[in-house]
Chains A and B, each alone.
Chain A
Amino acid sequence: MNFQRIREKLNILADAAKYDVSCASSGSDRANKDNGLGNASRMGICHSYTEDGRCISLLKVLLTNHCIYDCAYCVTRKSNDVKRAAFKIQEVVDLTINFYRRNYIEGLFLSSGIFKNPDYTMERLVAVAKKLREEENFNGYIHLKSIPGASDELMYEAGLYADRLSVNIEVPTISGLKLLAPDKKHEDFKKPMLKVKNEIIRYRSERKVIKSTPKYAPAGQSTQMIVGASGETDMDIMYSATYYYRAYQMRRVYYSGYVPVADDARLPAIGSQVPMLRENRLYQTDWLLRFYGFAVKEILNSDHPNLDMDVDPKLSWALRNLHHFPVNVNTAEKAMLARIPGIGMQSVEKILKARRFRKLNWDHLKKMGVALNRAKYFMVCDSRYWERRDLDADKIKGMILQTSSGKYRNKFSAQLSLFN
């Protein structure tokens, strides 16, 4: 191993890959084969955390940061003056295996800048995965980036070796894409997604008949959107996310607050604040849609095209729909329990189980971990005390804000601080 050379390459290519937020290693249950190396843990494992608090579970690198495209938001765009490097296939394989053996990572997340053409690039990515699986008998997690415009044959092969495939939409609106990435076509993104989706459906149906059908992308596919680069509303983002969840059966859509990397009139200037609070609210909305049974149009619609920044989307929905409340936790059905602000899905499950034994009161709920400072305005339980005043939405919001402290409250408060 030429240590110095590898070290230099790793620094360049890991640095360029960090803007991909996905680092999930969950959802696959690949077992260890023939006493080989590795398996995939169904729930995923975060082996370390970056100093910005994100999980590191995969070795996330680019194969190369040479790129023929010039997308304004991207750090490896053609016109950007950065150091370029490229890994050999064997080098990526060696790094992955050695990191994996030391329990540093769950597997590999391989992406790439596009050199020559999409197919040529995709071929290289697939070659790495193939080598890991077939020569090294590696059964850990592999996440491959589908290169927009890659051919169906390559996408089929990629799914045989990878656990997850992803294409990043990056810009949620078609007009935004035209503006920021004029060389890329919207159709190119959809083509590999559609192929992967169809292959997964085919795999599932064939598996019912022939048990030994080779696995095809068991952890499904995901995508990512940049938030705050092209002036889109939260409604644009969430509606397009819902579309991708539905039409391509995405496992995850990631939202990435735009980190300014370029001086470009079309984009926020370098040094402007990364919209982390907005990103957080979008993820909360995403969870409400996927786990809490909300429909996207309940949370975002033409009357409310953007999410509230000072309260979470569930509370904000409840405040707009006070006629549904208060809910009696001892009798309400699951769907309604899940809509009470301050009660998460874990608490919902606990409440459903515990209330078979006795009627629940405030103490019980508090012990189960319900955030009563929010929940108490929206529910009644087995107690003589409950919120009897006829409060309007603004009042409730004010009282909740007074008694809680949000993690972003100080950073993004509109109120100027007196001492700094």
Chain B
Amino acid sequence: MKSSSTLIYDGSFNGFLTAIFIAFDEKINVADIQKNNQCQNGLFSETETVFTNVEKAKRVWNGIRSKSHNAISNVYFAFLSETEGVELILYTYIQKLMSSKNGKHLDYSDNIVSHVTQLARKVSKEKHRMEAFVRFQLTKDDVYFANIEPDYDILPLISKHFRNRYADQQWLIYDVKRKYGIYYNLDHVELVSLNLQEIHFNKIRKSDVFEAEEYDYQTLWNDYFKSTHIKSRINPKLHRQHMPKRYWKYLSEKKEAV
């Protein structure tokens, strides 16, 4: 019997796709696929380090996409969920997808398929939430700045949405948890990492990096938020269900509640 091996990749999506390529290409009996910063050797498996190769990654991407557009977005979204062990699940998913004639990604009665679909759904929900809950604050350098702390790594997914929408203003969305951000400079979006002195969530104290006018608009928005609810219909449970508490920190309208 061929011994199994653990593939180690650099943690990027391209790296992961390269690992998939190598696993298929060399017909490796895959024990696990792990990120290089959190690998753990198995007792009975060898390890093999994968060097990211964009060409190979692209071939895997196109291969899955030619099976179904739905499947490739499921794979990408589920990967971004950063769930432990998601790589092996996705590997099995891709194996199943490739060995079936068509439409395997629609077999919701299959455990792996339904698991991947669920993960992708969670990430897509978080993406949608972040498109809603980003709150820009205007800095004195004329950049609209926002901190976020999403459950999953959704910055690559939301950049197109913000690029299309705020095409005439500079903006920067910074993921505090993963320590990187996306910045739009009126021409294109680029990845940035910042050395942030402080995290700008809602404090009562005003920071002097922002325009004075900025706080006026926040006050107007908070007032507006307060005047929209109908007293006789109040329903805090439903409110929290739609707007979970963990996001409140960055929403100016919930300033007082935090």
Chain A residues packing against B (C-beta within 8 Å): 1, 3, 6-7, 10-11, 14-15, 18-19, 31-32, 35-39, 41, 45-56, 59-60, 95, 98-99, 101-104, 137, 257, 259-260, 274, 276, 350, 353-358, 360, 364, 367-368
Q: Is the CB of B136 within 8 A of A103?
A: yes
Q: Is B219 a contact partner of A7 (Cβ separation < 8 A)?
A: yes
Q: Which of B110, B165, B169, B236 has the most CB of A within 10 A?
A: B165
List residues of B (211-257) whose CB comes within 8 Å of A's CBs. 213, 216-217, 219-221, 223-225, 227-230, 232-239, 241-243, 251, 253
Q: B6 contacts the other chain (Cβ, under 8 Å)?
A: no
- Of B106, B108, B232, chain A has the most CB atoms within 10 Å of the CB of B108
Binding stretch for chain A, among B12-20, B32-40, B47-55, B126-134? B126-134
- B216: which A residues are within 8 A, CB to CB? 1, 3
- Smallest CB gap from A273: residue in B: B232
- Nearest first, the 4 closest Cβ-Cβ pairs linking A and B are A53-B238, A353-B106, A52-B233, A364-B109
Which residue of the partner chain B has the closest CB to A38? B165
B232, A50: Cβ atoms closer than 8 Å: no
Residue in B114, B223, B229 whose CB lies within 8 Å of A50: B229
Known: A60-B228, A364-B109. 18 other contacts (CB 8 A): A10-B227, A11-B227, A14-B223, A36-B167, A37-B165, A46-B132, A47-B132, A47-B133, A53-B238, A101-B136, A102-B138, A103-B166, A257-B233, A259-B230, A260-B232, A274-B230, A354-B108, A356-B107
Which residues of chain A are near B166, meaning CB under 8 Å?
Answer: 37-38, 101, 103
**B74 at the A/B interface (Cβ < 8 Å)?**
no
Instruction: Say whether, besides A101-B144, A354-B106, A51 and B136 are in contact (CB < 8 Å).
Output: no
Chain B residue nearest to A353 (CB atoms) is B106
B224/A10 in contact, CB under 8 A: yes
Contact B217 A259 (CB under 8 A): no
Q: How far is the CA of A11 from the CA of B131 in the complex (A)?
A: 27
Per the bound structure, the CA–CA distance linking A31 and B160 in Å amounts to 13
- Note all chain A residues with C-beta closer than 8 A to B190: none
B224: chain A residues at CB < 8 Å are 10, 14, 59
Contacts of A367 in B (CB 8 A): 108-109, 114
Pair A48/B220 contact, Cβ less than 8 Å: no
- Asked if residues B236 and A358 are in contact (CB atoms below 8 Å), the reply is no
B235 and A102 contact, CB distance less than 8 A: no
A65: shortest Cβ distance to chain B, in Å? 13
> Any chain A CB within 8 A of the CB of B146?
yes
| B137 beta carbon closer than 8 Å to chain A | yes
Residue B46 interfacial (CB < 8 Å): no
> Closest residue of chain A to B107, judged by CB?
A357
- A48 near B227 with CB under 8 A, answer no
What count of chain B residues pass the 8 Å CB interface test?
51
Q: Given that A37-B167, A60-B228, A356-B103 are contacting pairs, would A51 and B221 also be in contact in the complex, using a CB cutoff of 8 Å?
A: no
A355: B residues at CB distance < 8 A:
109
User: Once bound together, how far apart are the Cα atoms of A101 and B168, in whole Å?
Assistant: 10
With A52-B239, A101-B166 given, is the CB distance from A7 to B220 under 8 Å?
A: yes
Q: Which of B103, B107, B134 contacts A103, CB < 8 Å? A: B134
* Chain B residues within 8 Å of A51, by CB: 229, 234-236, 239
B 139-194 contacts with A by CB, 8 A: 144, 146, 161, 164-169
> A35-B168, A353-B108, A367-B109 in contact; A10/B220 too (CB < 8 A)?
yes
A52 touching B234, Cβ below 8 Å: yes
Can you list 23 contacts pairing A with B, beta carbon distance less than 8 Å? A3-B216, A18-B227, A37-B166, A48-B253, A49-B238, A50-B228, A51-B235, A51-B236, A52-B234, A54-B228, A101-B138, A102-B137, A104-B135, A104-B221, A257-B233, A274-B233, A276-B233, A353-B106, A354-B107, A354-B108, A357-B107, A364-B108, A367-B114
* CB-CB under 8 A for A50 and B221, given A39-B165, A45-B132, A367-B109: no
Contacts of B168 in A (CB 8 A): 35-37, 137
Residues of B within 8 A of A46 (CB): 132, 242
A103 to B217, CA, bound (A): 12
**Contact B227–A15 (Cβ < 8 Å):** yes
Please indicate the chain A residues that have their CB under 8 angstroms from the CB of B137 in the complex: 102
B243 and chain A: residue at smallest CB distance: A49
Q: How far is the CA of A6 from the CA of B216 in the complex (A)?
A: 10
Tell me if A52 and B108 are in contact (CB < 8 A): no
**Interfacial chain B residues near A357, Cβ < 8 Å:** 107, 109-110
Interfacial chain B residues near A15, Cβ < 8 Å: 227
A101–B224 alpha-carbon span in the complex (Å): 16
Q: State in angstroms the CA–CA spacing of A54 and B241 once bound together.
A: 11
| Minimal beta-carbon separation of A353 from chain B (angstroms) | 4
B107 touches A353 (CB 8 A): yes
Q: How far is the CA of A102 from the CA of B251 in the complex (A)?
A: 11
- A residues less than 8 Å from B132 (CB atoms): 45-48
Residue of A nearest to B214 (CB): A102
Known A-B contacts A49-B242, A52-B235; A102 and B109 likewise in contact (beta carbons under 8 Å): no
**Residues on B with beta carbons closer than 8 Å to the beta carbon of A32:** 164-165, 167
Chain B residues lying within 8 Å of A18, measured Cβ to Cβ, are 227-230
Closest chain B residue, CB of each to CB of A260? B232
Given A95-B220, A357-B110, check contact A52 B227 (CB 8 Å): no
Q: Is the beta-carbon distance between B220 and A6 smaller than 8 angstroms?
A: yes
Least CB distance, B188 to chain A, in whole angstroms: 12
Distance of A184 Cα from B108 Cα, bound (Å): 54
CB <8 Å contact, A10 and B230? no
The answer for the CA separation of A416 and B215 in the assembled complex, in Å, is: 49
Q: Contacts A276-B233, A357-B107, A368-B108 known; A99 to B128 CB distance under 8 Å? A: no
User: Which residues of chain B are near A259, meaning CB under 8 Å?
Assistant: 230, 232-233
Closest chain B residue, CB of each to CB of A56: B228
Residues of A within 8 A of B161 (CB): 41
Most chain A beta-carbon neighbours within 10 Å: one of B128, B135, B227: B227
Nearest-CB distance from A104 to chain B (Å)? 5
Decide yes or no: A102 and B223 within 8 Å by CB, A19-B230, A37-B168 being known contacts.
no
* Smallest beta-carbon distance B158→chain A, Å: 11
Known: A32-B165, A53-B238, A354-B108. A98 touches B225 (CB 8 A): no
| Residues of chain B lying within 8 A (CB to CB) of residue A54 | 228-229
